[in-house]
A and B are shown apart, each in its own frame.
Chain A
Amino acid sequence: MDIAINTSHSKYQVDKNGYYGRFGGAYIPEMLYPNVEELQQQYLSILSDPAFQQEFEALLHDYVGRPSPLYFAKRLSEKYNAQIYLKREDLNHTGAHKVNNTIGQILLAKRLGKKRIIAETGAGQHGVATATVCALMGLECVVYMGSIDIERQAPNVARMKMLGATVIPATSGSKTLKDATNEAIRDWINNPTDTHYILGTAAGPHPYPDMVARLQSVISEEIKKQLFAKTGDAHPDYVVACIGGGSNAAGAFFHYLDAEDVKLVAVEAGGKGVHSGFSAATTQLGKIGIIHASKTLLMQTEDGQIVEPHSISAGLDYPGIGPMHAHLYESGRAMFLDATDDEALAAAYELSKLEGIIPAMESAHALAKLKDLPLNAADVVVVCLSGRGDKDLDTYIRHMNK
């Protein structure tokens, strides 16, 4: 497997200073410098080491169950008058794309000699994926999760605990993903030598956005092969993915970034409507600034205070996007849309009834925009079905009875 090491020629990839255009960098306090510097120095050589790649590939194959299927969704295709394929990240072990990244980072953490793992989580998928790989490797695991998310994603909290992780509620600010990430960063400051922070999305200080994108790039690597096998053309007309911090989108877009014939569509969480005051549509509402040590687009007040976002989906309830995506937005390479809570719920019900697949609330945002794309019958569309909906059953049941 090739985790996309030789990509520095692309104008959409990170440059040698850790920037995508004017976005990126590492705006860290000095206390984090040694850890982040170590990662910056080492991640590329570790990721490109054949022994690492072999181990990574074997675990993705035997443990995660990759390659994940690329499924032609016949009834969905009929409904939207296009050729729609679902990249089934929901069928991965632990139920989402998040595990691709955690497998990679736990192998990296071992090579760095770290004994203790920390993570943030929103929907709990990244927390579960981290707890899982920590169990697999016998490492201590601490997961920070916003106290609101602990309530709305209860099954995942139980799973993390069963896997042996300690789940610590983040009770500051909006009590969601942003605050869980703050707490994880503070933990890392307080544990400067033995701890690796497995950040779960393509955000945070360099090298995380690039490292996570590379580890997730297996998604588009497989799509290319699978689509070629099915249609004779590795390039679809559209790749559609939801975007919280941007890791599943980064993985699904990765090998298509320079293929300008492939339209990239990123779907943000519109919440109750972009201008309702309850939204997480960062590109619509955000300005350039610094969030979680990255210079990127984020939702902020006139005074530069970070705004508390809203989304029905815990995994998209984040007031920023990763710097790669900020650059894809600003350069016009990707199209950014947003789906409201209600549109996402409707899309989740629709996929369940048409295809027998209950998607994660996050992934449902991507599906919700099929209706807004200018599709022709011959258009090939790949939707990244980033996760399964088990964790969201409470939310789904509540809205079913409405």
Chain B
Amino acid sequence: MQNRIDQLFAKKQHGILNIYCTAGFPQLNDTLPVMTALQQHGADIIELGMPFSDPLADGPVIQNSGTIALQNGMSLRVLFEQLQHFRERIHIPVILMGYLNPVLLYGVEAFVKKCAETGIDGIILPDLPMAEYEEVYKPIFEKYNVHLIFLVTPETSDARLRKLDSLSKGFLYAVSSSSTTGKDKDINMQQSYFERLQQMKLSNPVLIGFNIRDKASFDAAAQYANGAIIGTAFIRAIENSKNIDETVRTFIATIK
């Protein structure tokens, strides 16, 4: 089967909405209800965060959601149990995002295999070095047809950008400014970087993430790329939700 991320970009090139949520948050068993609501109300891709004790690239809001998820009892094993039958209900692409340490301990091949078996389409591991992926892990991801998605930033040189683009599969994750998640830098300040990305005619679709928090920032980013990724603002929205489905519906309605 063709990877669901590729299927999506084959039929839709504009305004793709990717929403990040932390697995096991706000309650341990909210993972599937949140994912179901995201699909139901119009997200195109779900990025599911695997909580980690020391998330270096994350700001306080996502850090805190991970801490709560871990306190709730979330772990890779629990997550894969929750995801066992999710493809019966959810058909949009799902990406796991997390840090390398838990994946290394689980075993990279065992992890990627498990992702393929449960129906995960892609993985983002911001602290996995490009060279190590290329030399060691790439064949594993290819064998299971699970895409590894790389990040680029405004500081990434053209040469490195090309290299990351050649290794990334599914799409390229363009971090809008060099920052941790959940800052509110002005997206419009990054115009020249976004234009540089456009002019490079990259081989992958591009989604812009970080600092995307509302309709204005989503639209601003989406005009330069195939779409954008919302994380912190969504975590904030569901943090104290009494009715997940309703909260997700309202949240997405404000963006779309």
Establish whether residues B101 and A290, one from each chain, have CB atoms under 8 Å apart when the complex forms. Answer: yes
CB neighbours of A304 from chain B (8 A): 52, 76, 101-106
Contact size range, A: 20 to 34
Establish whether residues A27 and B128, one from each chain, have CB atoms under 8 Å apart when the complex forms. Answer: yes
Interface residue B203 (Cβ < 8 Å from any Cβ of A) = no
Measured CA separation A401–B121 after assembly (Å): 62
Establish whether residues B100 and A27, one from each chain, have CB atoms under 8 Å apart when the complex forms. Answer: yes
Interface residue B202 (Cβ < 8 Å from any Cβ of A) = no
Establish whether residues A28 and B127, one from each chain, have CB atoms under 8 Å apart when the complex forms. Answer: yes
B128 to chain A, nearest CB (A): 7
Measured CA separation A29–B106 after assembly (Å): 20
Interface string of A7-40 (1 = CB under 8 A from B): 0000000000000000001111111011000000
Please tell me the number of chain B residues within 8 Å of chain A, measured between CB atoms.
40
Interface residue B195 (Cβ < 8 Å from any Cβ of A) = no
Interface residue B235 (Cβ < 8 Å from any Cβ of A) = no
Establish whether residues A31 and B175, one from each chain, have CB atoms under 8 Å apart when the complex forms. Answer: yes
Interface residue A92 (Cβ < 8 Å from any Cβ of B) = no
CB neighbours of B76 from chain A (8 A): 303-304
Measured CA separation A387–B54 after assembly (Å): 29
CB neighbours of B60 from chain A (8 A): 172
- The residue in chain B whose Cβ has the minimal distance to the Cβ of A308 is B53
Interface residue B57 (Cβ < 8 Å from any Cβ of A) = yes
Establish whether residues A300 and B151, one from each chain, have CB atoms under 8 Å apart when the complex forms. Answer: no
Measured CA separation A300–B52 after assembly (Å): 11
- The residue in chain A whose Cβ has the minimal distance to the Cβ of B64 is A172
Interface residue A189 (Cβ < 8 Å from any Cβ of B) = yes
Establish whether residues B155 and A192, one from each chain, have CB atoms under 8 Å apart when the complex forms. Answer: yes
Interface residue A395 (Cβ < 8 Å from any Cβ of B) = no
Known: A29-B126, A30-B150, A303-B76. A289 touches B105 (CB 8 A): yes
Known: A29-B126, A30-B151. A289 touches B101 (CB 8 A): yes
CB neighbours of B129 from chain A (8 A): 25-28
Interface residue B216 (Cβ < 8 Å from any Cβ of A) = no
Measured CA separation A273–B248 after assembly (Å): 48
CB neighbours of B103 from chain A (8 A): 304
CB neighbours of A172 from chain B (8 A): 60, 63, 67
Known: A173-B54, A306-B53, A306-B54. A30 touches B156 (CB 8 A): yes
A335 to chain B, nearest CB (A): 27
Establish whether residues A305 and B100, one from each chain, have CB atoms under 8 Å apart when the complex forms. Answer: no
Residues in B lying within 8 Å of A, measured CB to CB: 52-54, 56-60, 63, 67, 70, 75-77, 99-106, 126-129, 132, 150-153, 155-156, 160, 164, 175, 178-180, 183
Known: A30-B153, A30-B164. 10 other contacts (CB 8 A): A27-B128, A28-B127, A29-B56, A30-B150, A30-B175, A34-B155, A290-B101, A304-B103, A304-B105, A305-B75
